[in-house]
Amino acid sequence: MNATAADYRWLDDHCPELIEAYCVTLVHAVTPQEVLGRLGARPEGRVTGIRALVDAARDAWRATGGDRHYLAVARVDGWSVLVEPNGYLGSLHETAAELSRGTELVTHFRNVNAVDQFSRYVDGALRLRVEPLSPPAPQDADPGGAAALLRDVGFDPRRDGGDVGAATEAAFALAERLTGVRLTPQVLDGAEWLSGSAPAY
């Protein structure tokens, strides 16, 4: 079944604190431990479930004053899912290029100011980048042929600013289309997350 934004309508009710500002990165065939290693992150223990992850991130922010980034990784269907509440490391070119070395990843990010980005990397090379609130309109140049896929998952091609919630849902759906990993409340709540912290950039 091809995912669309409608498949992720649960996000606002289930994870409101997470999706207000987040970065989610999926890395293929790399273990959670290796993800932390590639990020230069130190392990901080394990938490179970998305709510515990968000709470731990909030506590870590208060404890460090924002000097370190809290992140957590779980294994789902052969991919490592890296979640950063109020984070952005996975969206940075340098980070994504290193995480995707010898493999592939997709990453999507949004901050409290509704600045957002969706990217796909293969072996260190950027293959797709789009801003979910401003995806390419049909008349725009589209060298990667991605516009039709973006519209199909539910991105709004209007240039006057789209619905933030719908754009986030569409970003999760596009990540599923590109990785085959369906994130559900049950998956997020049942996952054991390996947490860590990395130096602030």
Tell me: the pLDDT tens digits for 151-160?
889 886 554 4
Q: How far apart are CA 60 and CA 85, in angstroms?
A: 11
Confidence label for 162 from pLDDT (cuts 50, 70 and 90): low
What local confidence, expressed as pLDDT, does residue 43 receive? 93
Taking all residues of the chain, what is their mean pLDDT, rounded to a whole number? 89
| Structure confidence by residue, pLDDT tens digits, 82-129 | 999 999 999 999 999 999 999 999 999 999 998 999 999 999 999 999
- Is the pLDDT at 139 greater than 60? The verdict is no
What local confidence, expressed as pLDDT, does residue 168 receive? 92
What local confidence, expressed as pLDDT, does residue 180 receive? 97
| Structure confidence by residue, pLDDT tens digits, 173-198 | 999 999 999 999 999 999 999 999 99
What local confidence, expressed as pLDDT, does residue 159 receive? 44
pTM, full prediction: 0.91
Secondary structure class of 27 (helix, strand, coil): strand
Q: Measured between alpha carbons, how far is residue 23 from residues 96, 97, 138, 142 in Å?
A: 12, 16, 27, 25
